[in-house]
Amino acid sequence: MIELSSISKRYATPQGTVTALEGIDLSIREGEIFGVIGKSGAGKSTLIRLINLLERPDQGSVRVAGRDLTALPPASLRRARQEIGMIFQHFNLLATRTVFENIALPLELRGESKAAIRAAVEPLLELVGLTDKRERYPSELSGGQKQRVGIARALATQPRVLLSDEATSALDPETTRSILALLKDINARLGLTIVLITHEMSVIKEVADRVAVLEHGKVIELGPVYDVFTRPRAEITRRFVGELVGGDLPPSLLRQIANDTATDPARRRVLRILFTGGAAESPVMSTLARRFDLDFNLLHGRLDEIQGRAFGNLVVELLGDPARLDAAVKYLATQQLGVESLNHEQESGDVVRLDRAAG
Ligand code: ADP
C-alpha cells in the first residue's frame, strides 16, 4: 500500500546540514496498523510527512496505492492526497467553525454540494460518537472529543490511508485508550491502512500490528509487535520495552539478592524468567513448585499481554535441593522462556547473565 524506497531527507540549518532520514526502505501493507516509534528527533515527523509529501524527500520515491507521488504533477498530487487522511497531536481544528463545519471542511474545499456534504458528515459524526455535539465549537470540547473531530475530518474524503502524528500524545491515558480503540475500530470496519508515529511503547502495544523503531533517521528494527517486544535487539528498543515491563531491576532488589548469606548458595537460585510467547505464566510457576518440590518466592516482576499472549518478566527465588534446582531450570528452558540467573553480581552491580537457557 505504501512503499518508501531509499528515502533520504536533510535540512539545511544555520548550524549546518541535519540528516533527518537516511536510507529508509519501508513497505506498509494494505489494511495494517503500522507503528513507528522513536525518541524526539529520531525523524518520525519527517517520515510521516513524507507519506503525503508534506515533506519532499531529497532522494528516493514514495509510492501510495501504486502511484509514485514524487513524480506526480501538482493537480494529480492534490487528488492523490485525498486518499491520505491525517490527524495531529494538537488536533488542528478551526476555532470559529462548529464540529460539523470542521468535518465538512475538506469536502467544501473539494467543491461538494451542501447535500453531499451533509450525507457524508452525518455518518462520520455517528462513527466518532459526536452526533450530539455537531453544533458545538472546539473550545467547548474535551481533548478526546477534539481528536474525534480530527479523525472524522480526516475520513471525510474517504481516504485509504490514515496518518496519525502523535495523535494521543496530548491526551490522558484513559482518553488515549478510547481514541486508540476508535482507530482500531475504523481500521477493522473500513479496512483503512493506518500509519502512526509515537514516542510511547504503550501506544504501539495497544494498536499496532507491526512496528518500526527509528533512531538517528534510520530504521533499526522492524517486525510484528509481539516479536519486537519479546526479542528486542537494539538497545533503544530494549529501553522502550522496559518502559512497559520494567527492563532494569531495582537496585534495592539487586542488593538484596547479592547480600543474602543466610541460605546455602547451592540451595538457592534467583531467576529472571522472561515470558516471550511460549508458556503462560501461572501453569509454569505452579509446575515448578509441584513437579520439582521447590519453594519459591516472587520477588519482582511485571507481566502484560500483547494480542492475547503473555509478555514480561518475573524474578523468582527458588529454594531447595541443588539437583532439583538444575532440573527446574532445564524445564524452564523447554518452555520457550528466557531464563537468567541473577544471584551472582559484579562489584559494579551489573547483572551477570549466567545461563540464558532459551529465548
Ligand atoms: P521526531 O518527529 O522523531 O522528533 P523530526 O522528524 O521532527 O523527529 O526531526 C528529525 C531531525 O530533523 C531533527 O534533528 C530535527 O531537528 C530536524 N528537523 C526536522 N524538521 C526540520 C526543519 N524544518 N528544519 C530543520 N531541521 C529540521
Residue to mutate (ligand 1; options 4, 7, 15, 18; most atoms within 8 A of CB):
18
Query: What pLDDT score was predicted for residue 53?
Result: 93
Residue of the nearest CA to atom 27 in ligand 1?
11
Q: Which of 156, 151, 161 is nearest to 130 (CA)?
A: 151
Q: Which atom of ligand 1 is nearest to the CA of 49?
A: 6
pLDDT tens per residue across span 4-20 = 999 999 999 999 999 99
Q: Which of 272, 270, 340 is nearest to 312 (CA)?
A: 272
Confidence of residue 246 (pLDDT cuts 50, 70, 90): low
**Helix 114-127 crosses helix 143-155 at what angle (to 10 degrees)?**
130
Query: What pLDDT score was predicted for residue 350?
Result: 35
Residue of the nearest CA to atom 6 in ligand 1?
43
Query: What pLDDT score was predicted for residue 147?
Result: 96
Query: What pLDDT score was predicted for residue 3?
Result: 96
Helices (H), ranges, the chain: 44-51, 74-81, 99-109, 114-127, 143-155, 173-190, 201-207, 225-230, 235-245, 251-259, 281-291, 322-333
Phi, psi (rounded to 5 degrees) for 19: -90, 110
pLDDT of residue 153 exceeding 90 = yes
Q: Which atom of ligand 1 is nearest to the CA of 40?
A: 4
Residue of the nearest CA to atom 23 in ligand 1?
11
**Separation of alpha carbons 101 and 85, rounded Å:** 17
Query: What pLDDT score was predicted for residue 26?
Result: 97
pLDDT of residue 145 exceeding 90 = yes
Residue to mutate (ligand 1; options 11, 21, 90; most atoms within 8 A of CB):
11
Query: What pLDDT score was predicted for residue 280?
Result: 61
As a whole-number percent, the residues of the chain with pLDDT over 70 amount to 92
CATH number assigned to the domain covering 246-358 = 3.30.70.260
Residue of the nearest CA to atom 15 in ligand 1?
41
**Separation of alpha carbons 37 and 43, rounded Å:** 10
Query: What pLDDT score was predicted for residue 7?
Result: 96
pLDDT tens per residue across span 24-48 = 999 999 999 999 999 999 999 999 9
The CATH number for 2-235, chosen from 3.40.50.170, 3.90.1150.10, 2.60.40.420, 3.40.50.300, is 3.40.50.300
Burial label, 323 (beta-carbon count in 10 A; 0-12, 13-18, 19+): exposed
Query: What pLDDT score was predicted for residue 243?
Result: 77
Q: For residue 117, is it left (φ>0), alpha (ψ between -120 and 50) or beta?
A: alpha
Q: CB within 6 Å of ligand 1 — which residues?
A: 11, 13, 18, 20, 38, 40-46
Lowest mean pLDDT among 131-135, 136-140, 236-240: 236-240
DSSP 165-215: ESTTTTS-HHHHHHHHHHHHHHHHHH--EEEEEES-HHHHHHH-SEEEEEE
Confidence of residue 54 (pLDDT cuts 50, 70, 90): very high
C-beta separation of 349 from 251 below 8 A:
yes
Residue with cell 507521488: 69
Query: What pLDDT score was predicted for residue 337?
Result: 74
**Helix 99-109 crosses helix 143-155 at what angle (to 10 degrees)?**
20
C-beta separation of 318 from 310 below 8 A:
no
Query: What pLDDT score was predicted for residue 277?
Result: 63
212 CA from centroid of ligand 1 (Å)? 18
Confidence of residue 356 (pLDDT cuts 50, 70, 90): very low
Q: Which residues pair with 188 in a beta bridge?
A: none
Confidence of residue 304 (pLDDT cuts 50, 70, 90): confident
Residue of the nearest CA to atom 25 in ligand 1?
11
More confident residue, 282 or 232: 232
Q: Which residues contact 281 (CB under 8 A, 6 or more apart)?
A: 275, 303, 310, 314
Residue with cell 465549537: 137
**Separation of alpha carbons 121 and 115, rounded Å:** 10
Q: Which atom of ligand 1 is nearest to the CA of 39?
A: 3
Q: Which residues contact 262 (CB under 8 A, 6 or more apart)?
A: none
Q: What's the grid cell of residue 263?
A: 541460605
Q: Which atom of ligand 1 is nearest to the CA of 199?
A: 3
353 CA from centroid of ligand 1 (Å)? 38
What is the mean pLDDT of the segment spanning 58-78?
93
Query: What pLDDT score was predicted for residue 305?
Result: 78
Residue of the nearest CA to atom 17 in ligand 1?
20
More confident residue, 251 or 81: 81
Question: What is the spatial order of strands in the sheet that 16-28 belongs to?
Answer: 16-28, 2-13, 59-64, 67-68
- Sorted by where each begins, the domain ranges of the chain are 2-235, 246-358
Burial 170-201 (b: 16+ CB within 10 A, else e): ebeeebbbebbebbeebbeebebbbbbbbebb
17 CA from centroid of ligand 1 (Å)? 11
Query: What pLDDT score was predicted for residue 140?
Result: 96
Residue of the nearest CA to atom 14 in ligand 1?
41
More confident residue, 262 or 184: 184
359 CA from centroid of ligand 1 (Å)? 37
pLDDT of residue 204 exceeding 80 = yes
Q: Which atom of ligand 1 is nearest to the CA of 21?
A: 10
Q: Which residues contact 74 (CB under 8 A, 6 or more apart)?
A: none
Q: Which atom of ligand 1 is nearest to the CA of 46?
A: 6
Confidence of residue 357 (pLDDT cuts 50, 70, 90): very low
343 CA from centroid of ligand 1 (Å)? 44
Q: Which of 143, 152, 140, 210 is nearest to 178 (CA)?
A: 143
pLDDT tens per residue across span 254-276 = 777 777 777 787 888 888 888 76
**Separation of alpha carbons 226 and 236, rounded Å:** 16
C-beta separation of 155 from 162 below 8 A:
yes
Residue to mutate (ligand 1; options 17, 45, 58, 169; most atoms within 8 A of CB):
45
More confident residue, 189 or 313: 189
pLDDT tens per residue across span 309-349 = 777 888 888 888 999 988 888 888 787 777 777 774 433 33
